[in-house]
Chains A and B, each alone.
Chain A
Amino acid sequence: MWAGFIFSLRQELIVTGIIFLLLFIKVGATEYKTAVILNLVNGLLLANFILGFIGCQDSILFSGMFHTNKLLVLEKNILNLGTLIISLQAYDWLKGHRQVLEFYLLLLATLVGFFFMISAGNLLMFYLGLELSTIPLAALSSFDLEKRQSSEAAMKFIMSSAFSSALLLFGISLLYGATGTLDFDTIGQRLDGSAFQLFAFILLLSGFAFKISVVPFHLWTADVYEGSPVTVSAYLSVISKGAVFFVFIQVLYTVFKPLAANWYRILVLLSILTMVTGNLFALRQDKLKRLLAFSSIAQSGFILAGITGSSRTGDASVIYFILVYIFSNLGAFGVVSLISAQTGKEGIDDYKGLYATNPLLSWVMAISLFSLAGIPPTAGFFGKFFLLMAGVGKGNYVFIGIAALNMVISLYYYLRVIKAIFMESQPEPIGKLTIPFLPNLAFLICVAGIIMTGLMGWVYDYIYSLSIGL
């Protein structure tokens, strides 16, 4: 029994184990070398990622509180991969930082939170996972303690998320009142689409929407991304968002299946709003992080479009896209992170003439941005194509037309960055930067992922074989 228990919980346990290991080091060792710790942690994360591939059985623990199956394991592994890449990229930044251990403690705590959230079979478990990830994230946002922007970002984040989780909780409480249960399976059976339930659902939805930055619940996003350390922004944009999307689609497709007609309409509206607003704001940003923030909002809109497909294709496409999105967005954030750590420059104008001095970084950036824009042969193209293809499954061509139009708008601001890098020049361009081994490895993973994921169909096939339809 214990073996099965440990086995089912192994991903959570490994990460928790790493947390405790780091905690012991923190408490036990009076002096340690930052570089050693970084290498150690990255090694552990790599091990964690690899161990995640061990096959598993579907199982349910804690009387329905905790579910696990192949799809969930895969999702967690995707998150593991993302965390690993982020950690590799953070090398340059953390090398000079005094609280490396604390950073990882908080970071991994959020990861565990996401794991539990993904595996949750009960609203209570879900809530606990959510908060376990949110609260440390707020602390992480303010990790550049002496920077005013970082503190401001953290304040905005914690205030907004407290408010959002309060609304979420209010929704949960109403849902509890309406159905008398917190168990996902039972809730599904007791939904009848009454106004009361719908109201509860909308409150619940707003909680999700907040985490995945859906308009009009997105306003914190840009400020927090801008103020937080780049690594944290990257983490927020891919891991946090990805994890919530995993849960969101799971919840919609299983728990709220009876309300499908309702949430379909809501999601279409929100998707359009999100794409349009995200793109329109991104158009005129001058700071790269902020631009990426709005771009990530727009991307959320596209993912929502995929979710509206309400089919197995939709589920598979969303998961696939998030995988691709991790590679692409982390490629871009990685470059920003490296340059920011070494020169402190984060504006688009600062990137002018980057290609002359740092061709490698420029190409990584370019490929990542093209992938974000959805241009082949990058994986982003496949991701977007499948999302919209799933979205059109319901026959709503107008909606997909708007989405396609938004792809064109989004291309503009990605190309603006590329234009600055490749075509423009400035008197004092960013000098030649040295790229340490670990970030280099991260870039390699990202670029390889961007190029290979799309061309190799089996990735999608595998996800599809696990995914669920409505």
Chain B
Amino acid sequence: MPNDAYIALIPLLPLAAFVVLGLFGRKSLLRLSGIIGTGAVLISTGLSLWTAYRYFAACLSDGACRLITPLKVTWLTFSPGLSIDLSVILDPISVMMIVVVSFVSLMVHVFSLGYMKGETRFGTYYAFLGLFTFSMLGLVLSGNIFEIYIFWELVGCSSFLLIGYYFDRPSAVAAAKKAFIVTRFADLGFLVGILILSFHAETLDFHTLIQRLTGPSPQLASITRASFLGISLLSWGLVLVFIGGAGKSALFPLHIWLPDAMEGPTPVSALIHAATMVVAGVYLVARLYPVYMFADPAVLRVVLYVGAFSALFAAIVACVQTDIKRVLAYSTMSQIGYMMFALGTFQAAGEENTLGYTASMFHLFTHAFFKALLFLCAGVIIHRVHSNEMKDMGGLRKLLPLTHGCFLIACLAIAGIPPFSGFFSKEEILLAAFHANKFVFAVGLFTSGLTAFYMFRLYFSVFWRRQSQDVGSHHGEAPLTMKIPLVILAAGAIFAGFVPFSRWVTYDGAPGKGQGIGGFAIAPVMLALLGMLLAGFFYQKESARPAKAAAALGGLYKFAYHKFYIDEVYSFITKKIIFNFIGRPAAWIDRNIVDGFMNLLAGVTARISARIKGFQSGRVQDYALYFFAGVAALAVLFIYIYT
């Protein structure tokens, strides 16, 4: 495909919007900023779709998808061969991702036109959205591991800025800081991982890196030979990169920032903390998947277990949360756990199982639609109710009919009810897990049931539970700008599952076999239905049942309600241990010991000075005496000792 340089425009247009709005959005372009931002993303989306169309058409005609690098600019050269190139690469997953990112971003942009209307920092909001969209698109198009790190940090930063958008709320500020610092901590792993991999592979380019580390090459020999603590450096590097991904994707135990990140405006949560940024970790692992496959199986096993545990853990916590956005946040975490463990299902009893890769990407794709939809619906609800708490809601189905419908669609999709999109992707994941590891499969299955339960718990609590009310009908459900994205996303949530995904997105570019799901689907769907029924039983009507159930579960309920006290553990470690036992002593030592030593030197000098003042007694006879003593001493020293 010649003339592909236009692809650079896909990320650059939102960047331009950011620059323009960042400079002028506060005053002169305040009113126009929504239009500018949305327009830029609209063009980007158009270009993305066009690119996707061309790319996959080429795939079909070639029989396999190839990796294309339409653009490559050297940005910073470290040493020959080792340079950060700003490059754009097209391969199935990156094309898939630009579509998802630009599309969801467009939806959020449009939605925000209504949702954020009247904010004083409207222009700034759109500027930040533009920055995020740019960074995220850049991230997925990166062809260089350091380039991805650059965008990785930039999405983190825009996430920080957007979470802290309501900067005068201390809780928002705290959440923003937490999100940044926790992901930063994980990025440390990513960075060191990059250092390890790039040092041995002698390149930063993904393509070359993968080639060198998966085939017989001197680079591979060097990285597997060198080891630390008995584990090869390759494994170390990959695990560290995975830690980076886990931080951004909010996997256990680095998930603590995600629920708090809900302090940001709801559309932002939909974009960043549901559909796009948080899946960057999955994308990263997928990007390096050939290397992961090639390395020690233990590495992917780590991915598998961490993913599975996160999925289960988050689902349990989601069951007892009362804040609508927090439930969604935990559900996001759980779904990402799914994607991650799908990637981990590579080793299947000796044979290679690449189904997980496709399934993971597929779930990523479908999840983006229904999760964004859920968040935007939540946005409408919050916009209306002015609260995040489920207890303030209930019986909203008449008041918000469209929202109700969309929400229901999204819930069905996430619960994995056919023929909604989530069904297809989730079944593929479970299938992959079934082949790989029965235990993880069981966990996945159980989690899938839980998912249905907590989503419908949410659904019933918000839309049913109470008498349908008709408060303040003087304004409609929501402005058109908010409704349109809902409808479009709902359509996506329904139909995205029918995309013949496995034909295109496979780890090696060759079309996949497209395994039938068939009868395998019965168990998960049954479980999901069970979960739905259970939720209906507890929450469809106002009753004492939930409380009783909670009481019955006792400690477990309390544990889950407090998110298993992970936050408390972290705050203990940081506040009590790091601050009190490292930071404070460091500051104290600096002032009192290191600086004290310098002052002591000065003090000692002054002390000596005071001690010897008697030497200058003011009596001329003493002076003469010292004079003579000096002569005598010199004479003794230099006549009798030194000669």
Is B a genuine binding partner of A?
yes
Q: In the complex, which residues 138-165 of chain B have their Cβ closer than 8 Å to any Cβ of chain A?
A: none
Q: Which of A195, A219, A280 is B626 in contact with, Cβ under 8 Å? A: A219
Judge whether A284 and B613 touch: CB under 8 Å: yes
Chain B CB within 8 A of A145 CB: no
Q: A156 vs B635: C-alpha distance in the bound complex, in angstroms? A: 25
Q: B594-610: contact bitstring with A at CB < 8 Å (1 yes, 0 no)?
A: 00000000000110111
Which residue of A is nearest B628, CB measured? A167
CB-CB < 8 A to A266: which residues of B? 634, 638
Judge whether A195 and B622 touch: CB under 8 Å: no
Q: Looking at the assembled complex, report how far the CB atom of B605 sits from the nearest CB atom of chain A, in whole angstroms.
A: 7
Judge whether A220 and B609 touch: CB under 8 Å: no
Chain B CB within 8 A of A265 CB: yes
Judge whether A206 and B634 touch: CB under 8 Å: yes
Q: A351 vs B264: C-alpha distance in the bound complex, in angstroms? A: 61
Judge whether B609 and A283 touch: CB under 8 Å: yes
Chain A CB within 8 A of B642 CB: yes
Q: A159 vs B622: C-alpha distance in the bound complex, in angstroms? A: 12
* A160-B620 in contact given A210-B627, A216-B629, A409-B605 (Cβ < 8 Å): yes
Q: A156 vs B622: C-alpha distance in the bound complex, in angstroms? A: 11
Q: A155 vs B610: C-alpha distance in the bound complex, in angstroms? A: 27
CB-CB < 8 A to A283: which residues of B? 605-606, 609
Judge whether B643 and A159 touch: CB under 8 Å: no
Chain B CB within 8 A of A19 CB: no
Which residue of B is nearest A222, CB measured? B616
CB-CB < 8 A to B609: which residues of A? 280-281, 283-284
Q: Looking at the assembled complex, report how far the CB atom of A415 sits from the nearest CB atom of chain B, in whole angstroms.
A: 13
Chain A CB within 8 A of B218 CB: no
Q: Which of A159, A203, A281, A409 is B624 in contact with, Cβ under 8 Å? A: A159
Q: Looking at the assembled complex, report how far the CB atom of A256 sits from the nearest CB atom of chain B, in whole angstroms.
A: 13
Judged by DSSP, the binding face of B is helix
Chain B CB within 8 A of A199 CB: yes
Which residue of B is nearest A259, CB measured? B638
Chain A CB within 8 A of B630 CB: yes
Q: A205 vs B221: C-alpha distance in the bound complex, in angstroms? A: 77
* A198-B643 in contact given A164-B627, A265-B638 (Cβ < 8 Å): yes
Q: A155 vs B624: C-alpha distance in the bound complex, in angstroms? A: 13
Which residue of B is nearest A195, CB measured? B639
Q: Which of B613, B623, B629, B639 is A199 in contact with, Cβ under 8 Å? A: B639
Q: A283 vs B640: C-alpha distance in the bound complex, in angstroms? A: 35
Q: A156 vs B617: C-alpha distance in the bound complex, in angstroms? A: 12
State the interface size on chain A (CB cutoff 8 A).
34
State the interface size on chain B (CB cutoff 8 A).
28
Judge whether B612 and A198 touch: CB under 8 Å: no
Chain B CB within 8 A of A277 CB: yes
CB-CB < 8 A to B608: which residues of A? 280
Q: A219 vs B614: C-alpha distance in the bound complex, in angstroms? A: 11
Q: Looking at the assembled complex, report how far the CB atom of A287 sits from the nearest CB atom of chain B, in whole angstroms.
A: 13
Chain B CB within 8 A of A163 CB: yes
* A220-B623 in contact given A167-B631, A281-B612, A283-B605 (Cβ < 8 Å): yes
CB-CB < 8 A to A203: which residues of B? 631
Chain B CB within 8 A of A202 CB: yes
Chain B CB within 8 A of A144 CB: no
CB-CB < 8 A to B628: which residues of A? 167
Which residue of A is nearest B611, CB measured? A280
Chain B CB within 8 A of A248 CB: no
Judge whether A202 and B643 touch: CB under 8 Å: no
Chain A CB within 8 A of B2 CB: no
Chain B CB within 8 A of A127 CB: no
Q: Which of B612, B631, B634, B643 is A277 in contact with, Cβ under 8 Å? A: B612
Q: Looking at the assembled complex, report how far the CB atom of B639 sits from the nearest CB atom of chain A, in whole angstroms.
A: 5
Give 27 pairs: A residue, B residue, CB < 8 Å, sorted on A. Answer: A156-B623, A159-B620, A160-B620, A160-B623, A160-B627, A163-B624, A193-B643, A198-B639, A199-B635, A202-B631, A202-B635, A202-B638, A206-B634, A216-B626, A216-B629, A217-B627, A217-B630, A219-B622, A220-B623, A222-B616, A266-B634, A266-B638, A269-B637, A277-B615, A280-B609, A283-B609, A284-B609
9 A-B pairs with the lowest CB-CB distances in the bound complex, closest first: A216-B630, A219-B623, A280-B609, A283-B609, A156-B620, A206-B631, A163-B624, A195-B639, A198-B639
Given contacts A160-B620, A284-B606, 7 further A-B contacts (CB under 8 A): A167-B631, A193-B643, A202-B635, A206-B631, A206-B634, A209-B630, A222-B616
